[in-house]
Amino acid sequence: MIEIISLLAIVVAIIIGFWKDVNVGLIALVFALFIGYYGGGIPISEIISYWPMTLFFTTFGITLLFSIAKLNGTLEKLSNTIIYQSRGKKVLIPIIFYFLALILASLGPGNISTSALLLPIGLIIAFRANISVLMVSILIILGSIAGGLSPLAPNGIVALELARLHGVGELGFHIYFNNVLAMTLFSGLVFIALGGLKLRGDRIEIKAPGKFDKQQIFTLLMVLVLVLWVMIGKVNVGFAAFVLSAILFIFKSADQGKAISNVPWSTILLICGTAVLIRVADEVGGVSLLTTFLATLMNEHTAIPIMSILSGVMSIFSSAVGVVMPTLIPTTVELSQELGNVVTPTVLTITIAVASHIVTVSPFSTMGALALASSPEEVNKKSLFKNLFIASFLALIFIAILLWFMNAINIIL
C-alpha cells in the first residue's frame, strides 16, 4: 500500500503546487517526511541525505555564472551581434534565433534562461518585421531546448546525473546529440509550416550593435574558459563555474548581491525537493511498482511511443527537469529488463529526456508562458496561447513517431 501512496504523493504534490501556487519541491519535501519517516520507517537523517548535493552544487554554480553574464549585458550584446549578421534578411532571422538559442543554451545557461533572454528581443523583431510571432516563439523555445540538454547545461546535467545514479551509465553527449537532431527536424517543419520560406527576398533594418566593453569581453573569456576546462580538463562544471564566478566578482563584472539573487532558487528547490520524494518512493517500492505497470503496457514495438507520450503529457502539466525525468529515468533499467532488453535503458532514457522537453512550447510550461509574456501588446494573446498549446501536442506526436522510427532502424546516436 505504501508503494501506491508514494506514487500518488508525487501526483498530489504537483496538483497542490500548481493549484495553490506553492513550489512543488517544497510540497514534495513535506510528503517525503511523512511517507518516508512515518510510513516507511526511513530515518530522517537518511531522508535528508537524499538531497542531491552534487546536482544542487552544479546547478547553483552554472546558473550563478550566467546570472553574471546576463546582468552585465554580455548575453544580450552577444545575441544582438549575431542577429546583426542577418544583414536584415527576414528569412534568416528565425533561423539565426534558433541556432543562437541552441548555442547559448548549450554553453551553460540552460533552456529557461536562454528563452528568457531571447524571447523579448526576438518577438519584438518578429512583430515589427511582420514575421510570425508564433513561429519565432516556437523556434526560440526549441533552440533553447535543443541546447538545454547539453552536458554543460542544468537540464542536461540533471538527465546525465539521473542516468548515472540509477544504473543507466555514463551517457556523455548521447542525450544531447539526439535531442539536437529531434529539435532541429521539428523546427524545420515549423519554419516551413508557418511561412518561413515565404520570407525570402524580404528585408528589415537592424541597428548595428555596440562594441563589447571590457567587462563583457572578460565575461566572454570566462565562459570560453569554462567550456574548455570542462571539456578538456574534465573538471566538474559546477566547481569550475564557482571559480570563474569568484574571479568575475573580484574584478567587479557584476553586482554580487544581484547575481546571487538572480540564481533560479525556485527551480533549484523544485528539482532537489522532488528528487528527495522520488528517492523515498524508490526506497519504499513505488518506482518498482511503476516499472512493472509500465512494462505491462509495452512491448518492443510500443515501448518508445508509450514512453514518449507518457513523458510528454506529464511534462505539459508539470516540469520536465523537476518531475518527469526524476520520476521516469529511475525506471528505465528495470523496465528494460522486464521487456527482455529489446529496448535498452539508454534508448528509454533518451526518449524520456527528449519527449519531456519538446512539449515545453506549451503555455502551461515556463517557456511557453515566457513567450506569452514577452509578446508585444498588439499580439492576440488568446490566439497565441491556443496555438502554443496545439503546437505542444503536435510536437509530442512528432517525437513519438520519430524516436520509434529511429530506434526501429537503429539510428539513435
pLDDT in tens, 296-328: 777 777 889 989 988 887 787 667 887 789 888
253-312 pLDDT, tens per residue? 999 999 999 888 887 888 788 889 988 988 898 877 876 776 677 777 788 998 998 888
Residue 44, Cβ neighbours under 10 Å: how many? 10
Q: Is residue 241 domain-resident? A: no
Alpha-carbon gap, residue 76 to 81, rounded angstroms: 9
Q: Is residue 54 domain-resident? A: no
Q: Is residue 22 domain-resident? A: yes
Are 367 and 195 in contact by the 8 Å Cβ rule? The answer is: no
Q: Is residue 222 domain-resident? A: no
Q: Is residue 402 domain-resident? A: yes
365-411 pLDDT, tens per residue? 778 877 877 787 788 877 888 899 899 989 999 999 998 888 877 76
pTM (2 d.p.):
0.73
For 22, the grid coordinates are: 506553492
Q: Is residue 379 domain-resident? A: yes
When divided into structural domains, the chain yields a total of 1
Q: Is residue 115 domain-resident? A: yes
Alpha-carbon gap, residue 62 to 282, rounded angstroms: 28
Maximal CA-CA distance, the chain: 69
Exposed / middle / buried, residue 261 (Cβ in 10 Å: 0-12, 13-18, 19+): exposed
Q: Is residue 339 domain-resident? A: yes
Place of cell 539510428: 411
Are 222 and 244 in contact by the 8 Å Cβ rule? The answer is: yes
* Residue 135: domain span: 2-49+87-205+264-408
